[in-house]
Structure 1
Amino acid sequence: MNTELSKSKQILFRKARAFCEDQGARFTPLRAKVYEILLQEDASIGAYDLLDKLKKIEDSAKPPTVYRALDFFLDLGLVHKVESTNTFKACHHFGCSHPVQFLICDHCGDVQEISSNGVESTLAAQAMENDFQIVSQTIEAHGVCVKCQKEPINT
């Protein structure tokens, strides 16, 4: 594991490895490298940007390598796909089924995963009223994070 990760992200990495083992899924060295890169990112990251970073430490990496790793992590709930930007973000509370809500900064690209029971219950109630069964739920809100709000506006 890369020691460039913060302590909290190192803990998350170890939890992800253990979670995979508990699920009978192989957390291979290549998948570990991909997951480390995802954890290092504050913003979500596209598959080809992920590939570029992976190639710096794994010369033989190709697009299918990254897509297979992402599919593996998506299937286990270790990663979320940010649909509006076609990018990926490591999930920080995997192992449970949960609705996904993102706050996405359009200036710096930071993505915050939040959980709002109010949003979930309202959507579930409206779905029930319309005889609709929700299979998965991802809500994405675009705007400006607090850090970017404090930066001077260049005109």
Structure 2
Amino acid sequence: MSRADHASRHVHQEHAGATLVSEAQSVLTAAGEQWTDLRAAVFRSLADRTAPASAYDIAEALSAAAGRRVAANSIYRILDLFVRTNLANRIESRNAYLVNTHPGCRHDCIFLICDSCGKAVHLDDDVLTRSLRAAAGEAGFNDVRPVVELRGTCAGCS
């Protein structure tokens, strides 16, 4: 990797499994929010998926597991909280969510989304997103949060 390539990549620690859940709980409670049973269940459901999930997908899975109906509007509120506190990212074009595997780290979002299987891969490129924020600033926009979505076919579906 060249020096320029290395400088454009955002370095962070990825988490998985119980470590990811523990890190998410720490980040949420540090933000002054409670880690409730329902929030934990929503986070685990999201973390167990390889493709972005909608609030309805999560509500259906939690309803089946609990043997009682879990309302999608409750899930939406939790997912919005997760996005605000950096525990999840929203895939705008699909109105779906993807767990953030490095919840203590804030940065802009670049997603590669497979049109065949729905898989989403998150990339970091600070040079690209810095350029996008600069262009927005030149156009008179402030507090820009770049979310870039690139659609195509993943290697597994090609």
TM range (shorter): 0.7 to 0.9
Q: Matches of 1:40 and 1:91 in 2, distance apart?
A: 12
Residues 16 and 101 in structure 2, CA contact (< 8 A), matched pair in contact too: no
Residue identity matched to 2:129? E
Picking from 6, 19, 26, the partner of 2:34 is 26
For 1:4-153, list aligned pairs within 5 A: 8-58=16-66, 59-149=68-158
Residues 127 and 134 in structure 1, CA contact (< 8 A), matched pair in contact too: no
Equivalent residue, structure 2, for 1:3: none
Q: Matches of 2:129 and 2:154 in 1, distance apart?
A: 23
Q: Matches of 1:61 and 1:125 in 2, distance apart?
A: 43
Residue 16 (structure 1) shift: 0.4
Q: SS at 1:128's partner residue?
A: helix
**Aligned positions, number:** 143
Residue identity matched to 1:74? V
Q: Matches of 1:31 and 1:56 in 2, distance apart?
A: 16
Residue identity matched to 2:39? R
Residue 125 (structure 1) shift: 2.7
- Greater displacement, 86-95 / 139-148: 86-95
TM-score, structure 1 as length reference? 0.85
Q: Which has the higher contact order (CA 8 A, sep 6+)?
A: 2
Which 5+ residue runs of structure 2 have no aligned equivalent?
Answer: 1-14
Residues 59 and 72 in structure 2, CA contact (< 8 A), matched pair in contact too: yes
Q: SS at 2:70's partner residue?
A: coil
CA RMSD of aligned residues (A): 1.6
Residue identity matched to 1:46? S
Q: Matches of 2:108 and 2:26 in 1, distance apart?
A: 23
Residue 132 (structure 1) shift: 2.6
Q: Matches of 1:70 and 1:83 in 2, distance apart?
A: 13
Query: Which string of whole-angstrom CA distances, capped at 9 and with x for unpartnered residues, describes residues 94-143 of structure 1?
Result: 23331111000111110111111121122123223333324311000000
- Sequence identity, in percent? 31
TM-score, structure 2 as length reference? 0.83
Equivalent residue, structure 2, for 1:4: none
Return structure 1 stretches of 4+ with deviation > 4 angstroms.
Answer: none
